[in-house]
Structure 1
Amino acid sequence: METAAAAAAEQPSESEVYIEAPQVNYAPYNFDKTALELARAQWANYADQHYLKNCKWSPDGTCLLTVIRGGGMNVFELPSELYTCDTLLQTRTIDALTPAVSVQETGLIYDYDWYPGMNSANAATCCWLSSGHEGPIHLWDAFTGDLRCSYRGYNAVDELESAMCVTFSADGQNIFSGYKKNVKIFDTGRPGREYTEIPITHQVSTIVASKAQPGVVAIGTVKGVIELVSQTDGTLRNLCKLKGHKGGITSMAFSLDGSRLYSGARKDKDLICWDLRVPGRPMFVLPRECSTNQKISIDLSSDNKWLVSGGSDGKVQIWDVTEQHYPTVHLQMQLHNDSCNGVSLHPYRPILATSSGQHHNSIDPMHHTRSTPVYENALCMWWVGPQQEDDLLATIIKAATNGTA
């Protein structure tokens, strides 16, 4: 399949092997029980604090991407047995995750996003974007970790400017990037410095594109305002502004049908659901713990039913947003001892990915009453589908309960 991303990428060599797409088994999420840990990768805390910054499943569900502060970008593959299994034993051994691809990008990574048409059977589509401190937007090869191309934005005095956030359009043909004073739109198939520039009142902090309504983009700013715009003929037309958050917008997600927008902000414990059919007033507000400036991500399941959020208290909360009445927490799980900054639901398997860690202030030895921080820089995969008790374990527990063990 020819795509704009494939045109921008280097053409595969004749010796390159195309990987056959795995057979998939679609299974619904089951949030009636707590999550069962499947796999984990752990990073020690060094002087420069190697905490993780979010995690994202690839659109085809074959791999998971995360960024480690000071440790670059890493891609982890989904264990092969998890593609087709219907249920798992509660005594299953936790796998140790090892990066399949590592990109030791220097400097601070601000944002990243998978190419929406990614298919592991077509190597040309397997790539992701990243933006970082004092550098251009990069397009990376998900098989080799090589840099395919770059997209460069410049300010008014022709100095290279860093994008604070990036995302692909729903069809992958364009790249939307947020800067201090504008949004720049690049043609994915034409890397370099050609772009359309749209002025914005405040610095852009996050940006997402609607999959249901091509061209509709939500732009979150550091002032807590969300600007909903529509792209037509290379320009952006303002649709409405959404105001209700106390801090800068850090995470947003469109519903599958494009009728709702969910948003969260820094140092703001409210998750707001906006009804875009009647914009301007929140549809409902959901509580979560977000007591720091850190980005705490949210995600929506592919069936449009479950909204998931991390929390600075290490908890993951799940709401059933298809309920007609005001949604209440369906399940709350303490999955981490440190801040859970990233959550990502697998596109077709009942698997939740989470990432943990945050910046901790140095401990002052003169103040002995200050509690010692807990460091947990981890990437985890959790099973949220049907679980089965081990027969032997169940027998032992039953015997112990009856006093015969």
Structure 2
Amino acid sequence: MGSEAVLEGHYVQYAHYNFESTSVELGRAQWPNYDDQHYLRSCKWSPDGTCLLTVVRGAGMHVMELPSDLYNGDSIMNSRQIQALMPAVSVPESGLIYDYCWYPGMNSSTAATCCWAASGHEGPIHLWDAFSGELRCSYRGFNSVDELEAAISVTFSADGQNIFCGYKKNVKIFSTGRPGREYVEYPTNHPASCLVASLAQPGVVAIGTWKNSIELVSQSDGSFRHLCKLTGHKGGVTTMAFSHCGMRLYSGGRKDKEIICWDLRVPGRPLFCVPRDANTNQKITIDISSCGKWLVSGGTDGKVQVWNVEENSTPTTHYQLPLHNDCVNGVSLHPYRPVLATASGQHHTLDPLHHTRNTQSYENALCMWWVGNSHDDPDYITSIIKAASNV
């Protein structure tokens, strides 16, 4: 918890979370309920923590900046005014976005690193500029009859040198610095619905499939080696996260009310399972804090579940944060500040008799929440600032 990291050129400590206290809403962006339903599809903090990326169905991709007053300080006022979040960059991509991922070496002080990759319906993988929203380049995957094929999932390698893209029958690996249609294939038995690369063990990639299984592979020098296969989910795997030590893998599936923790040193069976509410086919993401202590997950009940996974067995420290009145499909913990981002919304079916949706105002929102220490006394904050200035 006392380790340091760099944020905007300054050394800062990892976040000190306080999930026991009331979460303070910091900022919110809301999308209206048009006929094509502008619900969100998860959210992801940039690796340097300066901005937040989200995808809105039918309304493109949007980048929100972290409010400037949140870069410093160990506490905030409970009465802090909620800030309206406005996109710093928007990409009006009207088609359905399947998956997206920040470049792992992204740093706002180096413009060349500020980008993300996204895969959409009936299109190639695009690399987007995070400053201008312009398209930098594309990576095109083709099937056995030389037809352009859309990737179901996408992620970067730990060093950012390669882009792993999941397709119906294989995983294609593109060199990030070489756009076009040159790639290496790794065959899979089922569609690769979810991909994640290990930061602690470069070259190790987990491939989740719609057939409820996970395959771990090791990739180096263009060759692949099968490591192990993990089975246990009741639904297709849609979200995964490696622990920061690389020894554990957390995974969740669609219509599957369990998050499974796998000990990769003994991969034969799950280490433990924790429950969450997930009763739709929608992707509901999980995330791990930078310190490696906290696992968070969204849920269709509008609650964010939080577990302390530093405990050796099944976590006993568990918090439920009722933050939304609709499905929380995306959660992302800030890399260095006690700020939680959430994305809400889901597909709501038509009334079969009137072919309309009910008049309820659905919550299609991107929110930032303070999950650290907070106070009601303004003199407390003043004393902290004075004490810091006297050091």
Structure 1 length normalisation: TM-score? 0.89
- Whether the aligned pair in 1 keeps the contact of 2:49 and 2:334 (CA below 8 Å) is yes
Q: Does 1:123 align with 2:111?
A: yes
DSSP-derived class of the 2:69 partner: helix
Listed one character per residue, the Cα deviations across residues 23-50 of structure 1 (whole Å, up to 9, x for unaligned) are: 4643322212121100000001100000
DSSP-derived class of the 1:81 partner: helix
Residue identity opposite 1:383 in structure 2 = W
- Whether the aligned pair in 1 keeps the contact of 2:285 and 2:298 (CA below 8 Å) is yes
- Whether the aligned pair in 1 keeps the contact of 2:27 and 2:83 (CA below 8 Å) is yes
- Whether the aligned pair in 1 keeps the contact of 2:102 and 2:116 (CA below 8 Å) is yes
Q: 1:77 to 1:367 in 2, by over 3 A?
A: closer
Listed one character per residue, the Cα deviations across residues 39-67 of structure 1 (whole Å, up to 9, x for unaligned) are: 00000110000000000000000000000
Q: What residue number does 1:247 align with?
A: 235
Q: Does 1:261 align with 2:261?
A: no
Q: What residue number does 1:220 align with?
A: 208
Please give the alpha-carbon distance, in whole angstroms, between the structure 2 residues aligned to 1:285 and 1:81. Answer: 38
Please give the alpha-carbon distance, in whole angstroms, between the structure 1 residues aligned to 2:9 and 2:343. Answer: 25
Please give the alpha-carbon distance, in whole angstroms, between the structure 2 residues aligned to 1:102 and 1:174. Answer: 25
Greater CA drift, 275-284 or 358-367 = 358-367
Q: What residue number does 1:38 align with?
A: 26
Over aligned residues, Cα RMSD in angstroms? Answer: 1.7
Deviation at 1:363, TM superposition (A): 2.1
Please give the alpha-carbon distance, in whole angstroms, between the structure 2 residues aligned to 1:226 and 1:34. Answer: 36
Please give the alpha-carbon distance, in whole angstroms, between the structure 2 residues aligned to 1:128 and 1:84. Answer: 26
Deviation at 1:325, TM superposition (A): 3.2
Q: What residue number does 1:93 align with?
A: 81
Q: Does 1:164 align with 2:174?
A: no
Structure 1 stretches (4+) deviating beyond 4 angstroms?
365-368, 370-374
Q: What residue number does 2:388 align with?
A: none
Deviation at 1:236, TM superposition (A): 1.5
Q: 1:113 to 1:391 in 2, by over 3 A?
A: closer
Q: What residue number does 1:401 align with?
A: none
Residue identity opposite 2:79 in structure 1 = T
Structure 2 length normalisation: TM-score? 0.92
Structure 2 matches for 1:106-145, cutoff 5 A?
106-145=94-133
Listed one character per residue, the Cα deviations across residues 107-143 of structure 1 (whole Å, up to 9, x for unaligned) are: 1000000000001000000000000001000000000
Q: What residue number does 2:301 align with?
A: 313
Q: Does 1:380 align with 2:370?
A: no
Deviation at 1:21, TM superposition (A): 3.0
- Whether the aligned pair in 2 keeps the contact of 1:206 and 1:221 (CA below 8 Å) is yes
Residue identity opposite 2:374 in structure 1 = Q
Please give the alpha-carbon distance, in whole angstroms, between the structure 2 residues aligned to 1:250 and 1:137. Answer: 19
Please give the alpha-carbon distance, in whole angstroms, between the structure 1 residues aligned to 2:353 and 2:167. Answer: 40
Q: 1:77 to 1:355 in 2, by over 3 A?
A: same
DSSP-derived class of the 1:325 partner: coil
- Whether the aligned pair in 2 keeps the contact of 1:48 and 1:70 (CA below 8 Å) is yes
Q: 1:195 to 1:29 in 2, by over 3 A?
A: same
Deviation at 1:324, TM superposition (A): 2.2
- Whether the aligned pair in 2 keeps the contact of 1:275 and 1:283 (CA below 8 Å) is yes
Residue identity opposite 1:382 in structure 2 = W
Q: What residue number does 1:340 align with?
A: 328
Deviation at 1:198, TM superposition (A): 1.1
Listed one character per residue, the Cα deviations across residues 84-127 of structure 1 (whole Å, up to 9, x for unaligned) are: 12211101100000000000012100000000000100000000
- Whether the aligned pair in 2 keeps the contact of 1:23 and 1:83 (CA below 8 Å) is no
Deviation at 1:82, TM superposition (A): 0.3
Greater CA drift, 73-82 or 28-37 = 28-37
Structure 2 matches for 1:178-257, cutoff 5 A?
178-257=166-245
Residue identity opposite 1:264 in structure 2 = G
Unpaired stretches in structure 1, ≥5 consecutive residues? 1-19, 393-405
Please give the alpha-carbon distance, in whole angstroms, between the structure 2 residues aligned to 1:82 and 1:367. Answer: 45
Deviation at 1:283, TM superposition (A): 0.1
Listed one character per residue, the Cα deviations across residues 248-305 of structure 1 (whole Å, up to 9, x for unaligned) are: 0000000001000000000000100000000120000000000000000000000110
Please give the alpha-carbon distance, in whole angstroms, between the structure 2 residues aligned to 1:102 and 1:243. Answer: 39
Deviation at 1:180, TM superposition (A): 0.3
Please give the alpha-carbon distance, in whole angstroms, between the structure 2 residues aligned to 1:311 and 1:295. Answer: 10
Q: What residue number does 1:402 align with?
A: none
Q: What residue number does 1:358 align with?
A: 346
Q: 1:33 to 1:234 in 2, by over 3 A?
A: same
Q: What residue number does 1:21 align with?
A: 8
Q: Bigger radius of gyration, 1 or 2?
A: 1
Q: 1:77 to 1:366 in 2, by over 3 A?
A: closer
Please give the alpha-carbon distance, in whole angstroms, between the structure 1 residues aligned to 2:268 and 2:135. Answer: 42
Please give the alpha-carbon distance, in whole angstroms, between the structure 2 residues aligned to 1:63 and 1:380. Answer: 13
Identity of aligned residues (%): 69
Please give the alpha-carbon distance, in whole angstroms, between the structure 1 residues aligned to 2:200 and 2:207. Answer: 17
Q: What residue number does 2:384 align with?
A: none
- Whether the aligned pair in 2 keeps the contact of 1:91 and 1:390 (CA below 8 Å) is no
Q: What residue number does 2:292 align with?
A: 304
Greater CA drift, 27-36 or 67-76 = 27-36
